[in-house]
Amino acid sequence: MRAAVFVGSEQLAIENIKPADPGPQDVVVEIQASGVCHSDLSLARGYVPLPPGFVLGHEGTGKVVEVGKEVSRVRKGDRVIASFIPACGNCWYCQHDQSNHCDLESETAFSPRGTREDGSPYFAMTGLGTFAEAMTCNQHSLVKVETDVPAEQLSLIGCGVTTGVGAALNTAEVLPGSTVAVLGCGGVGTAVIQGARIAGASRIIAVDGQPLKREQAKKFGATDVVDPAQGDPVQQVKDLTQGRGADYSFEVVGLPETMITAYNMARKGGTVCIVGMARADATVTFPAFQLFFEEKRILGSKYGTAHVRRDFQRFVDLIETGRLDVSHMVSRKIKLDQVNEAFRAMEAGEVIRSVIMPG
Ligand SMILES: [Zn+2]
Ligand SMILES: [Zn+2]
């Protein structure tokens, strides 16, 4: 089976790998589509330390082709979206309405999945490894959906859509009539914009240095755009919000500098939502007096605070009724061996999402 494997450098290698026989809790999924997310590139660049031998890809959809003996969640033939954090339903977090912190996460992320051509074991990013023709994963990493939405759109629910729309609806709980600033308008930022639009925000300000992304942001619901090259972006956002700053600001870049910018863009008493994935060794410094004085709420948002068993079908339904536009988030459909080109296009700001169609 062909897969794109992290071998210690930014360029992924297309290898023939041999999956192990599925365990009792495992499911084999034929991958129909897999989005190329910025987190894949971040891992390839070593932002989060990872040994070589990981199949990357964590945003995918496909069809169940084989199930282990104890699998009860899905059946052969089911259409599924992969959840990059499993939701076991039984651990403390799952039982306290926070399945995006499920205890199974680290266990599934570091289990060997089979052997590479040289005989060494391979692992799979977040226990998935969707940059492949098929994957073997734990049953709790899969959510069955009922829909005819095309695979390339469904795949984005696995990460970008859920992370972004979820940040607006679940984490920040954007209120109707409110003002929202979004820093970084790639795949996830675009989804935050759409989440804010669905929530009924009156003003959605898209902040991005790339002209193409600002243009696209408008199509997804941004009412205003800010180009940081045209002067202090914080002041530009304040100018658009009666001098106060936004009710909600979202950082969707993953850099300490933009986290501070997002903090400064929120009004007093407003909400700052950190969605971007920073380097594991990065730190950010907030002004101590203002933390108290301006009373802003700083919220981390992991996987859009999603309950995947509830939210995946919910997002599918929003796509089906035309309220959530994922079709225009899919910029390119590509083959597995074009994954490195997809990284380049992402960096160049040419695409919102490239989606690998391995079949
Ligand atoms: Zn992702
Ligand atoms: Zn759990």
- pLDDT value at position 47? 85
Residue 75 has pLDDT above 90, yes or no: yes
- pLDDT value at position 247? 98
Rounded to the nearest angstrom, the distance between the alpha carbon of 39 and the centre of ligand 1 is: 5
8 Å CB contact between 136 and 19 = yes
Question: Which pair of structure tokens corresponds to residue 178?
Answer: 């409110």
Rounded to the nearest angstrom, the distance between the alpha carbon of 86 and the centre of ligand 2 is: 7
- Distance, CA of 305 to CA of 167 (rounded, Å): 7
CATH number, domain 164-302: 3.40.50.720
Ligand located closest to 92 CA:
2
pLDDT band at 280 (very low <50, low <70, confident <90, very high): confident
Rounded to the nearest angstrom, the distance between the alpha carbon of 52 and the centre of ligand 2 is: 28
- Distance, CA of 148 to CA of 136 (rounded, Å): 24
Ligand located closest to 303 CA:
1
- pLDDT value at position 275? 97
pLDDT band at 349 (very low <50, low <70, confident <90, very high): confident
8 Å CB contact between 145 and 64 = no
String of DSSP letters for 212-267? HHHHHHHHTT-SEEE-GGGS-HHHHHHHTTTTS-EEEEEE-S--HHHHHHHHHHEE
Ligand located closest to 353 CA:
1
- pLDDT value at position 324? 98
- pLDDT, mean of residues 167-180: 98
Torsion over CA of 253, 309, 171 and 318, rounded to 10 degrees? 80
pLDDT band at 48 (very low <50, low <70, confident <90, very high): confident
- Distance, CA of 130 to CA of 157 (rounded, Å): 13
- pLDDT, mean of residues 3-23: 95
H/E run at residue 204:
strand 203-207
- pLDDT value at position 110? 87
Q: Is 280 exposed, middle or buried (0-12, 13-18, 19+ CB in 10 A)?
A: exposed
- pLDDT, mean of residues 314-330: 97
Question: Which pair of structure tokens corresponds to residue 207?
Answer: 């902040």
H/E run at residue 275:
none
Ligand located closest to 83 CA:
1
Residue 338 has pLDDT above 90, yes or no: yes
Q: Is 77 exposed, middle or buried (0-12, 13-18, 19+ CB in 10 A)?
A: exposed
pTM of the model: 0.95
Rounded to the nearest angstrom, the distance between the alpha carbon of 252 and the centre of ligand 1 is: 12
**CA-derived radius of gyration, the chain:** 20
Placement of tokens 């959530």 in the chain: 324
Contacts 24+ apart (CB under 8 A), 324-328: 324/161, 324/165, 324/194, 324/198, 325/194, 325/219, 325/220, 326/149, 326/153, 326/156, 326/157, 326/161, 327/150, 327/153, 328/216, 328/219, 328/220, 328/352
Ligand located closest to 308 CA:
2
Rounded to the nearest angstrom, the distance between the alpha carbon of 241 and the centre of ligand 1 is: 31
Question: Which pair of structure tokens corresponds to residue 31?
Answer: 């991958």
Rounded to the nearest angstrom, the distance between the alpha carbon of 108 and the centre of ligand 2 is: 12
Rounded to the nearest angstrom, the distance between the alpha carbon of 29 and the centre of ligand 1 is: 19
Rounded to the nearest angstrom, the distance between the alpha carbon of 303 and the centre of ligand 1 is: 9
Ligand located closest to 103 CA:
2
Rounded to the nearest angstrom, the distance between the alpha carbon of 328 and the centre of ligand 2 is: 33
8 Å CB contact between 309 and 329 = no
Rounded to the nearest angstrom, the distance between the alpha carbon of 96 and the centre of ligand 2 is: 9
- pLDDT value at position 331? 95
pLDDT band at 359 (very low <50, low <70, confident <90, very high): confident
- Distance, CA of 325 to CA of 313 (rounded, Å): 15
- Mean confidence (pLDDT) of the chain: 96
String of DSSP letters for 41-101? HHHHTTSS---S-EE----EEEEEEEE-TT--S--TT-EEEE-SS---SSSHHHHTT-GGG
Domain range summary for the chain, segments of one domain joined by +: 2-158+325-356, 164-302
Count of beta carbons in the 10 Å neighbourhood of residue 200? 11
8 Å CB contact between 179 and 202 = yes
3-state secondary structure of 358: coil
Q: E strands along 281-329, which residues? A: 297-300
3-state secondary structure of 150: coil
- For the domain made up of 2-158+325-356, give the CATH fold: Quinone Oxidoreductase; Chain A, domain 1 (3.90.180)
Rounded to the nearest angstrom, the distance between the alpha carbon of 98 and the centre of ligand 2 is: 8
- Which runs of consecutive H residues, i.e. helices, occur in 96-186? 104-109, 151-157, 160-166
Residue 301 has pLDDT above 90, yes or no: yes
Ligand located closest to 191 CA:
1
